[in-house]
Amino acid sequence: MAYLAGKLTKNLVRTLGSGRHGDGNGLYLVVDPSGARRWIVRVTVKGQRNRQGKPLRTDFGLGGADVVTLNVARERALEYRRLAKQGLNPKYHRGQDVPCFEEVARQVHIERLPTWKNPKHGQQWINTLADYAFPKIGRMPVSDIDQPEILQVLSPIWTEKHETARRVAQRMKAVLDVARSRGYREGENPVTVVMDARVLPRVKAKVKHHNAMRWQDVPAFYAQLSEQKGTAASALMFTCLTACRTGEVLNASWDEFSFDDLLWIIPQDRTKTGAEHRVPLTDQMLEILEPLKALRSESVFEGQRRHKPLSNMSMLMLLRRMGVENVTVHGFRSAFRDWASEKGDTPREVAEMSLGHKVGTEVERAYARSDLLDRRRELLRRWSEFVCSKLENSND
């Protein structure tokens, strides 16, 4: 490969901040606010004009800077300029400059990392492609991937690992959609065609429910739990009373609480539904929170590291140490829901909103904008009294 000079250096490629940085001759390094780095080249196609009658200038993606080196980017940019000077649109005549599937997939992964709430999910996203797609189509140009290649990836795992296969399909579709948007391929996404045509055998999905404690057994368990020491016990007690998700509780911070209004307001970026969830605070919840204020931590349920929350396994491990088997922390939400229906005589929409679920269709939600706070406050008051009934009796 011949050496081509430019303004950029390898060190600058690694360290430049966000923006578009020119190397010369139409080659640019684009650094997104997220830190993702990619190459583009701007060319003017000889003899072609846009709708305004001006020379046709077009930007083309050359791949991510993490997989395409500076010299390779210069070589690719040079080839694009040669084609453009001949009056050939590089979109249709770029030959071997089309990136492979793995290259595009890794770039998509980097660009989407800041959008995922959970870094673990981002790692799983790329890992599934690395395990199942890259070995078979990873080195193929994205322009050459069609239905047979998609089936080659999905067929071996479709029935035995159906949920994994479904996720692989979704992620391959996302990669190929991005490839098309950047001019690397044309036509309908082959993943969409394969899934719509139902050429793969139908697999009945297995619904997996979280193991839950019977609502009748919760008060006795809570009394036992109240005798445990440590922040994990406090977090689990708070989880039982609020019927909130594990992550919502563990990552709670003091600025989310309005003690004057007796509310815990979980912001939309921390909820599964993407909508703010207001949780009424009961007397029993306040008794749990009050001693924790003295720790002066940013995190309500602080773990071993200062100002950092407990790990997501802390409450489950506490259950195991207590000898409580075949019960998950998430299952206490199910116990609350069953109690609300069987004992609480609660309307469905009140119980569902207490769990932070969306209720009704989008049209129904557009008209029913209340979160039924007063009714939910009464419901959680009664639930707290029920859960703590054995505890109160033992203190008499």
For residue 93, what is the domain's CATH number? 3.30.160.390
| pLDDT value, residue 396 | 46
Tell me: do 231 and 150 sit in the same domain.
no
Tokens found for residue 198: 């139902």
> For residue 192, is it within any domain?
yes
Tell me: do 248 and 382 sit in the same domain.
yes
In eight-state DSSP terms, residue 192 is H
Torsion of CA 333, 335, 337, 338, to 10 degrees: 160
Contact 13, 70 (CB under 8 A): yes
Secondary structure of residue 318 in the 3-state scheme:
helix
Contact 103, 61 (CB under 8 A): no
> For residue 369, is it within any domain?
yes
Exposure on the CB side of residue 341, measured as CA atoms within 13 A? 9
CA nearest neighbour of 153 among 200, 116, 86: 200
- 161-184 mean pLDDT: 89
Helices (H), 251-330: 283-293, 314-321
The answer on pLDDT for 200 being more than 60 is yes
> For residue 174, is it within any domain?
yes
The answer on pLDDT for 90 being more than 70 is no
Tell me: do 166 and 306 sit in the same domain.
no
Tell me: do 326 and 184 sit in the same domain.
no
Tell me: do 21 and 75 sit in the same domain.
yes
Query: Average per-residue pLDDT in the chain?
Result: 85
> For residue 205, is it within any domain?
no
Q: How many angstroms separate the CA atoms of 225 and 216, rounded?
A: 15
| pLDDT value, residue 362 | 60
The answer on pLDDT for 209 being more than 70 is no
For residue 352, what is the domain's CATH number? 1.10.443.10
CA nearest neighbour of 271 among 295, 255, 251: 251
Long-range contacts of 43-48 (CB under 8 A, 24+ apart): 43/80, 43/81, 43/83, 43/84, 43/90, 44/84, 45/84, 45/87, 45/88, 45/89, 45/90, 46/84, 46/85, 46/86, 46/87, 47/87, 48/87, 48/89
Q: How many angstroms separate the CA atoms of 158 and 235, rounded?
A: 40
Q: How many angstroms separate the CA atoms of 380 and 24, rounded?
A: 65
In eight-state DSSP terms, residue 310 is P
What values do phi and psi take at 347, rounded to 5? -60, 145
Kindly state the percentage of the chain with pLDDT values over 90: 43
> For residue 203, is it within any domain?
no
Tell me: do 163 and 245 sit in the same domain.
no
Tell me: do 238 and 375 sit in the same domain.
yes
Kindly state the percentage of the chain with pLDDT values over 70: 88
- 383-388 mean pLDDT: 95
The answer on pLDDT for 316 being more than 80 is yes
Secondary structure of residue 104 in the 3-state scheme:
helix
> For residue 249, is it within any domain?
yes
- pLDDT top residue among 391 and 270: 270
Tell me: do 330 and 361 sit in the same domain.
yes
Last residue of a domain, one of 56, 82, 97: 97
Last residue of a domain, one of 81, 97, 113: 97
Q: Please report the beta strands in the chain, taking only residues with DSSP state E, as ranges in sequence order.
A: 19-24, 27-31, 37-49, 55-64, 257-258, 263-266, 277-280
- 307-326 mean pLDDT: 88
> For residue 274, is it within any domain?
yes
DSSP secondary structure letters along 199-245 = -SPP-PPPP-PPP---GGGHHHHHHHHTT--SHHHHHHHHHHHHT--
In eight-state DSSP terms, residue 131 is I
Last residue of a domain, one of 42, 73, 97: 97
Contact 8, 29 (CB under 8 A): yes
Domain interval for residue 38 = 10-97
* Residue 107 host element (H or E): helix 101-112
Tell me: do 343 and 251 sit in the same domain.
yes
Looking at the structure of the chain, the number of domains it has is: 3
For residue 155, what is the domain's CATH number? 1.10.150.130
In sequence order, the β-bridge partners of residue 258 are 263
Tell me: do 182 and 254 sit in the same domain.
no
Tell me: do 84 and 180 sit in the same domain.
no
Tell me: do 241 and 389 sit in the same domain.
yes
| pLDDT value, residue 253 | 93
Q: Give helix 373-387 / helix 283-293 axis angle, nearest 10°.
A: 80
> For residue 349, is it within any domain?
yes
Give the predicted TM-score (pTM) of the model. 0.51
